[in-house]
Amino acid sequence: MGKEKVTVNDLKVTLSEIGVTSGLKQEKIIQRLQVNGCLIAMVTDVLDQLIKEEQGMFRLLSVQYKQEQKMHYTQMQDAAKKYYFHLKPFNKSFFGDENICANLEDNANDIYEIIKLLADHTNDHKDMEVIKRNLRKRKLNHHIFD
């Protein structure tokens, strides 16, 4: 449908064609149609405005959501950097300046030696097997006992 306007004369011709010939009746019908048309136009304008406001609100919420995501991401990155910054000196003081993985393996070997000493001290081979089994259950022996 285009934007053609219906004139009063067009309505009178159409009403005459469908059998409404009285001028007074035609005027009443035309007035009602004009009032109804105005009401429809007003409702359409209100609905269009509501739709535009809802679309604007949706865009605003979408932007706010993206900003919140960026903010949370930035906060998580900052927290990770702070954690790493504070953890690094602790790792150095705890493990020394060498490679941490190598130190962990050395610590694992030290733990193995301690367990061996404990088992030797009790002078019972069965205790050593129990210790090995418990370590296997806790998955702590992946490179201690081969």
Q: Are residues 91 and 128 in the same domain?
A: no
pTM above 0.75, yes or no: no
Based on the fold, state whether residues 83 and 15 are members of the same structural domain.
Answer: yes
Are 10 and 54 part of one and the same domain? yes
Do 109 and 89 lie in one domain? The reply is: no
The count of domains in the chain is: 2
| Residues 53, 80 within the same domain | yes
Residues 25 and 79 in one domain: yes
Domain boundary among the residues 56, 75, 95 is at 95
Cα distances from 9 to residues 14, 23, 27, 41, 109, in angstroms, run: 9, 12, 11, 21, 104
Asked which of 54, 77, 95 is the last residue of a domain, the reply is 95
**pLDDT range class, residue 101, cuts 50, 70, 90:** low
- Are both 23 and 74 inside the same structural domain? yes
DSSP class of 103 = H
Read off the pLDDT of residues 34-61 as tens digits, 9 standing for 90 and up: 888 888 889 999 999 999 999 999 999 9
Residues 45 and 104 in one domain: no
For residue 113, give its domain range: 98-146
**Selection from 113, 107, 144 nearest residue 136 by Cα:** 144
DSSP letter at 97 equals S
Phi, psi angles (nearest 5°) of residue 117: -60, -40
The SS3 assignment for 113 reads helix
Residues 114, 90 within the same domain: no
46/114 same-domain check = no
Please check whether residues 12 and 72 belong to one and the same domain.
yes
- Residue 25 pLDDT more than 60? yes
